[in-house]
Amino acid sequence: MNKKKINIVDTTMRDGSHAVSHSFTVEQVSAIAAGLDKVGTAIIEISHGDGIAGSSINYGFSKVPEMQLIKEANRVIKNAKLAVLLLPGIGTIEDLEEAKANGAEVVRVATHVTEADIGIQHISHAKKIGMMPVGFLMMSHMASPEKIVEQAKIFVDCGAAYINLADSAGYMTPDDVRFRIDALVNHLDIPVGFHAHNNLGLAIGNSLAAVETGATYIDATCRGLGAGAGNTQIEVLSGVLQRMGYDTGMDFYGIMDVAENIVEPLMQRPQVIRSAPLMLGYAGVYSSFLLHTYKAAEKFNLNPRDILVELGRRKMVGGQEDMIVDVAFALSKQIKPFIRDKQS
């Protein structure tokens, strides 16, 4: 019997934006989007790493206005659905409408795993204007399966097309993923998706655990480009799922070529698990905190690992990037200066 269809959602030009300091150009977006579309990617997401309207002093400025990039992606995409991410409190209804006017068909409304209620109006409005709204629950390791189901139902009730569970810290193990995805699959009447980070080297394993437990939408990026140690590597995921008999609709050779010939040359550094990204996963810290933490560590002459441990202890969540400097300043008064080496 043929196995089920798995929809691959590429977030190279959204989560990957963190890894290149939001420096994507029109030419790069055009090449990546056209390549992803040609090889059969189901959904292609593009926006600032922290969602539409994320370009700011808090989260980092985009080199090119994101609406211009969305418009360019829409120009070259012929088959895939074009998506944007929206974090309530950063992006607004007006931003959402502008994204739609520039070609976005899907919006993934992302909230902390216990705060789905702040996304109700965005999900409802997206559905009203003819977009495909998705409920995106971040930092999902911080809530029990029962709590996640409760929050997911808030999104379902206001019109979400599917629920995407995000391991934003790259903290979870395959069993952690199975427990949460299984709870959603068994309590919801809409599809379930999963978004992994590779801070503990488990992105592919966790994505497979999600698929085997019933998830039908899986996020991934070319070369794993993304915050922290990156995301599930799309070309690897495509090959593994194909070998296992799942239908992704993707050209395996083609997606390898997009990753190697288009995305890899623009990467600012290899997407590997260095000490600080590893600490993100170990301490359960939001992956997009990494570059902010490096900057704070440099400013206050601290070991970035110490900052990340303290952020984890304080249970900081997405949207609190401005607190990283405060934490670093406090630590600088408590611990001795850090002697840097290439492993930090």
Catalytic hit among 18, 22, 48, 197: 18
Closest CA to 183 of 113, 282, 119, 134: 113
Is there a contact between 143 and 176 (Cβ–Cβ < 8 Å)?
A: no
Give the C-alpha separation, 267 to 265, whole Å: 6
| E strand map for the chain | 7-13, 43-46, 81-86, 106-112, 132-138, 162-166, 192-195, 217-220
Is there a contact between 223 and 264 (Cβ–Cβ < 8 Å)?
A: yes
Closest CA to 233 of 244, 246, 224: 224
Angle between helices 120-128 and 93-101 (to 10 degrees): 30
What is the rounded (10 degree) CA torsion for 99, 104, 105, 107?
Answer: -60
Calculate ∠ Cα 238-221-261, nearest 5°.
85
Is there a contact between 81 and 120 (Cβ–Cβ < 8 Å)?
A: no
User: How many CB atoms neighbour CB 159 within 10 A?
Assistant: 17
Query: Which pair of tokens denotes residue 50?
Result: 């922290």
Is there a contact between 263 and 10 (Cβ–Cβ < 8 Å)?
A: no
3-state secondary structure of 181: helix
What is the rounded (10 degree) CA torsion for 325, 330, 336, 339?
Answer: -10
Give the C-alpha separation, 176 to 154, whole Å: 22
Closest CA to 145 of 229, 237, 213, 199: 213
Give the C-alpha separation, 137 to 315, whole Å: 16
Give the C-alpha separation, 174 to 104, whole Å: 32
Query: Which pair of tokens denotes residue 236?
Result: 């690897």
18 tagged catalytic: yes
Instruction: State the catalytic residues.
Output: 18
